Structures are given as C-alpha cells and as structure tokens.
Chains A and B, each alone.
Chain A
Amino acid sequence: MNTMQASTQDQRAPSRPFALVNARLIDPFSGLDQTGGVLIVDGKIADVGPHITEDAVGNADIGDCSGCVLAPGIIDMLVSAGEPGQEHRETLATASRAAAAGGVTTIVCVPNTEPVIDDVALVDFILRRARDTALVNVLPMAAMTKGLLGEEMSEIGLLHDAGAIAFAHGKTSIASARVMRNVLAYAKDFGALIVHHLEDASLSKDGVMNEGEVATRLGLRGVPSAAETIVLERDIRLVELTGGRYHAAQISCRASLDVIRAAKAQGLPVTCGVSINHLALNENDIGPYRTFFKMKPPLRAEDDRRAMIEGVASGDIDVIVSAHDPRGAEGKRRPFAEAADGAVGLETLLAAALRLYHNGEVELHQLLQAMTANPAKLLGLKSGRLAKGAPADLMVVDLATPWMVEPELLRSKSKNTPFVGARFEGRALLTLVAGRLVYNYAD
C-alpha cells in the first residue's frame, strides 16, 4: 500500500501529453461504446475516439489498455469522509485513497460532520483540506437546516455561492413539512439540489433492521419500509407545490420505487439514488447479528432488492452510491441493536456493481451511467463523460480481474465492509483525476 502511494505521487501531474489507447471506450453520456483511445493534455480530455491510436498521437506518452474498459471515473454522491470531527474514522485523505482504488474520481461529502457543515467557513474548510490532502475531487454538500435540527433554514444562497454542491440532511429527515416546503422553495431560487434522507423518525424509532420475519426471529425491533415511503410521498407533494429540485439520497424498497416512477411520470424534478448495499445484500445477510450489515436505511427483503435492481436497469433509479460510512470497532463491536449504522463502500462500489452486470441483471452501459453521467448531470459537473474539454477524470477497468475483499487491505481508515471475504470479478486498474494517475493496481 505504501509502495502504491509512493509511485502514484511520483506520477502526478505529467507535463507531457498522455494517451490511453486500445481501450473499449464506454461513455454513457454520449452512448459511445467502441475501441479507441483518449488523449490527455493539461489535465483535460483533448480528444477521444477510435482515431486515437498509438500511431496517431505523436510524442505523447502511451498507456495500452488492451482488453480493458476506459470510462469516466465514478462520481459517488453519498460519502461520509469523517472530516471535520471524526478523523479517527476517516479523513479526506484516506477516503480519497479508498476512492481512487475503487475508480471513484469525485466524492460528494455529507454535511453531518462535527461541526455540521452549515456555514460558509466550513464549506471553505472542506474545499481547502481537499485541495491540500485529497487525491480525488471532493464536493461538499451543506446542511439544509442550521445544525441539522430541521427547524431553521441554513444560508442556502451563501453556501451555494461558497461551493456547496447540494443540500442534504445527514441521516435524518426534516420532520416539519413547512420547513421542507420552505427549503425546497428557497433552494429553487438558486437552482440548488436538495438531497434528502428518507426516514420518518417517529416510525423508525427504536428500530434497528427491516421490519418483518427476520427481525422477528432475531428478536430485533423493525423499521417498516413505510417509514421511508411516507416521507418520500410527502416530499413529492412539496416538490409539486414548490418546483424545487429534489433527489432522494437513497431508496431501499419497492414501494418507494413505485412512488418515484409516478413522480417522474408526472414530470416532476425528482430523482433518486440507491446504495450498492441495497443492490447487493438483503436482510438475511445479517445472519447471526453481524453488525457490519447494520445501516440506514436497513437492508430490506429480497423482493425489495430485486426491485432496486429493476429500478437501476429501467433507469428509474438514477444514481448508485457507495453510502460510504466508516465506523470503527467502538461503533461496530457491540450488540446489534446498540451498534452504529453504516458501511464503507468506496473501494467495493464498482466491483459489487459489476456483479449485476456479470449476472446479466443490468447492462454495463446502464450501470456505469448511474455512477458517472447521471450524477454529473444532477450536480451540473463537466466531468462524468468522455468528451473533448472535459476533465480527464477516468478509470481503466478490467471486467474480469478476480479479487477478494480483505478488510485489512482496504485503504479506508475503518474496515467495516459488509463484503468481507467477497470474491469479486472486475475492478479498476488505473484511476486518473484531472489527468493525474492517482491509482495503479499494478503497484
């Protein structure tokens, strides 16, 4: 791991033009899928297409990507990076190394830090820390309400101008419909995106896993999926009222997918995400009270997981996120009901998603779209595409490389992965951010 860091440092900021050739270019943004290459100059994509070959790029340095997919780097819209306040779990530096190793070139950070990101100075802090310590792009979200208390709106306009990419509410929902209405209406004036966690606190109170047979057998209190769907339905009525741009951070059940479909059919500015955990795992994986499978929203029933896959395949679910949430032993080595929620996911997001492709459940194009082009569009980014002038945020992926998840090798400070010992097929071999090599599997 140290070797890897050293060598990526050495290869930073190449001054010469650089070309990746003989790759299978996949760009969900434009629909491109053919053999070719990308020419990188000054951190940007100078040219892309089948005509970019070793012979065609003159004196540029060459990277041969034969047999590999070259695609835009992943934009992960839901990452908890620990800073500020929880640096023992994760820092922007460690999170960004984990991201780079997973083909993730942009992380969107949640505002439920300590202190809460509800002030322009804190947005500025994150941006500066990221610039100084992070290998990948870091885009902070700010809190919708002061202190995430759900009562007073935060300075959405000033925070937006300071660089807050969107507005979120951590792992809670705004309980007051009036406050939510005002936030949506006010944010609309600034074109700001609202990213909401869905959980009716009064319904989910004391619940620690999905409500149903498994919870009953384990003797654990359940959280009904209605706790999610109720908030989603309310929010959609408020979107209808205000016209604000709304993104459900994560949905986890079939009923929520139906609500999203109806809202989209109505033409409302509503989108949603799903975590890789809810695509790959279900409540049965908890087994003997394994706390690494405890998260918010909880892992649901198999039918809900099937629905999430259908949603990604049909495009009704726009975005796949890692929901990266590092937790140390102090949070996880506890009785299930008392353990912390959350799982790390930056390094396993791509590989776990590729399972859906290998199983024939979701087309590769659709899968990559949900991790590149769609988040880029939602956030108004220039990245997330293979296009001239776009930042050279790229990943080279071998769809077949077999590997196993060994927690102690994860770059994240916390090792709470639910994919312990999982055997995956496919991973990022190279990751580039603004043309800089930030990860090389060969190291």
Chain B
Amino acid sequence: MSLAVKASQAPFPHRHLLGIEGLSAAEIVTLLDLSEDAAKLGRQIDKKRDDLRGRTLINLFFEASTRTQSSFELAGKRLGADVMNMAIPTSSVQKGETLIDTAVTLNAMRPDLLVVRHHAAGAVELLSQKVDCSVINAGDGSHEHPTQALLDALTIRRHKGRIEGLIVAICGDIMHSRVARSNILLLNTLGARVRVVAPSTLLASGIERLGVEVYTSMWEGLIDADIVMMLRLQKERMVSSLIPSQREYFHFFGLDYDKLACAKPDALIMHPGPMNRGVEIDSNVADDQRSVIREQVEMGVAVRIAVLQALARHLPNQ
C-alpha cells in the first residue's frame, strides 16, 4: 500500500478534528497507528496514562448518544483529563440560548478539549470558530462523524491488514447518515472501492460524485464485498414515506444470510450501532462469527484516545 508510508512519526498538524474531509492519507494512517497502540493499552490491567493530566475535556452533546459519549469520556479519563458531560435536557439550549452563546459560555470555563455532537450539519465547525480550545466533531447532523469512520477503518485494518483495494459496501439509509459520509471520504482516501446500497429514496442526490458505486439491490451490491457495513434505519423514514414498512425494508435491504451469501465468504459484518435487529440486520447475522460489531465498540475507545493524544500535542502550554 503505497499510501501507507510509515508516517507515525509525522505530527498531526490540525488543531481540531471536524471531519475526515481535509485529512490526508498519511494523517489518517498516523491516527490509525496511534489507535493501534491505544488498543493495546486498553487491554492492559493498568490503562492509565497522563498525556492529558490537568486538562479539561467537555462532552457537549446536543443529541442523545450512548456509545460515542461514553467512549470519549473513557478515553479522556484514561489519558488523565478531567471530563465533564454536558447533558442536553439541563443545558441552556432548552432555555433559548443560541449555540454561539453556549460556546462562548463554555469557552469562559477554559476547557482544553471540546467534544461536540449537534443535530445540525456544520454546527460543530461554527462552534469551533468561537472557542479557543480544540474541538472534536462527534457527529453533526447528516454531515460527518470522523471518529466513527476512523474506528471502522481500524477494525477493518486489524482484520484484513489493509484498506486499499477492499470492496466495502455501505448499506442502508445513506441519505441521512453522517457515518456513511465520513466512511466514504476515509475509505476512498485510503484506496478502498466503496459501494453504497440503498433504495433510491434513501440515496443522497449526486452521491455517485463522491466516488462511490451506487446499487439499489443488496444482492447485486454485496457481490464480492470484503466488508458489509450496515447503517441504522430510523423509524421516522417510514412516516415520511421514504420506505413503505419495516418488513419490506428487511426483505429487500436487511442483511440476512441470503444476501450475505453474495459477499466474499470471509466478509466482515459491521454496524455503527445501535442496531435494530430484524429491521436492517438479521439477529443471527449480527451475532455471526464474521460480525465485528462488538470489536468496533472497543476500537471506538482506542480511536478516541488516539485522537485526543494527537490533538493534545497542539494544546498550548501555559
């Protein structure tokens, strides 16, 4: 893999991690290599380091999250930071404060790292312009979710030894998925062949211009796939008449053994979680030995440790 120059020594030059867009292949590989070390750390008895000793990390989640928020919290704590979780129901947003006011208020508390999830695309970048600390995008609307893409890539690389040349089928609600967008960007940057598979109503307009092959049939889209990456289907999609029903969706787009048989025999099954068993994925397939869904969660912590470490090198010292 020509892109995979051993770049681990190259410093990560960005102050924020707002998206995969704008990251070079070398920078992504740097983060993945760092994550590999963090994964080892996570399997030791003593998981504690002091890279972020004395630093403050605020988890600012305007949208509910379990695994992303908790893994950032754990990552921060393992690196020795003080971690504060800002819960949405009690936040000032409910009282009418604007996003920027919230940012300015938090900035006054002098945090070093701000992890932000927001339901509006672009909100995290907007916030990053108003604060002095490093900002990590933990998901902004349907735009990007960079740490998810990194943890997916790490999981793939650990199993397949490479990213380049792999056929990755991303299946499901492409239109509304920030996970899909970040993954498309990252996997393309590292030289994978990316496919998206969805009914036309859940494909985003012009998606083919993002360098993916578009399929509206799972049976065709999964042919020879090395990686089958399922996306979560939100219930609202049926009310808004984008798809007819859960049973029809599962029949044509749910990952079951029949469709999985089109993929390579050793294809990895992935899902960013939380899963709707019986909607986008058959329950047995989710628990199949080819499924790496639980490992994705473990790698989530490792990637977030790596991202915090990389950004910490740019934090001002006094």
Contacts and interface: CB of A to CB of B under 8 A. Distances in A.
Contacts of B216: 188-189
Contacts of A151: 241
A185 B200 contact: yes
B245 A155 contact: yes
Contact of A158 (B199, B200, B241, B247): B247
Interface string B259-272: 00000000000000
Interface residues of B, number: 16
Contacts of A189: 199-200, 216-217
Given A152-B244, A155-B244, A157-B252, A182 B201 contact: yes
Interface of A: prevailing SS: helix
Contacts of A154: 244
A185 B216 CA distance: 11
Contact of B239 (A152, A156, A186): A152
A378 interface: no
A156 B216 CA distance: 14
A153 B241 contact: yes
Interface in B228-269: 238-239, 241-245, 247-248, 251-252
A155 B247 CA distance: 9
Nearest to B252: A157
A158 B248 CA distance: 6
Interface in A380-395: none
Nearest to A150: B241
Contact of A186 (B200, B217, B247): B200
Given A158-B251, A189-B216, A153 B244 contact: yes
A179 interface: yes
Given A186-B201, A242-B200, A157 B248 contact: yes
Nearest to A118: B244
A178 interface: yes
A185 B201 contact: yes
A188 B200 contact: yes
Interface in A167-218: 178-179, 182-183, 185-186, 188-189
A182 B243 CA distance: 8
A53 B243 CA distance: 55
A61 B135 CA distance: 87
A212 B200 CA distance: 43
Contact of A157 (B238, B239, B242, B251): B251
Contacts of B238: 152
Contacts of B248: 155-158
A269 to B, nearest CB: 14
A182 B238 CA distance: 11
A146 B245 CA distance: 10
Contacts of A156: 244, 248
Contacts of A157: 244, 248, 251-252
A185 B199 CA distance: 8
Contacts of A242: 200
B201 A152 contact: no
A204 to B, nearest CB: 24
A152 B216 CA distance: 20
A57 B283 CA distance: 61
A58 B285 CA distance: 61
B21 to A, nearest CB: 27
Given A152-B238, A242-B200, A186 B251 contact: no
Interface of A: 145-146, 151-158, 178-179, 182-183, 185-186, 188-189, 242
Given A153-B244, A178-B241, A188-B216, 11 more contacts: A145-B241, A152-B238, A155-B244, A156-B244, A158-B251, A185-B199, A186-B200, A186-B201, A186-B242, A186-B244, A189-B216
12 contacts: A152-B238, A153-B241, A153-B242, A154-B244, A155-B244, A155-B247, A156-B244, A178-B241, A183-B241, A185-B200, A186-B199, A186-B242
- Top 7 nearest A-B pairs (CB, nearest first) are A185-B200, A189-B216, A155-B248, A155-B244, A153-B244, A153-B241, A186-B201
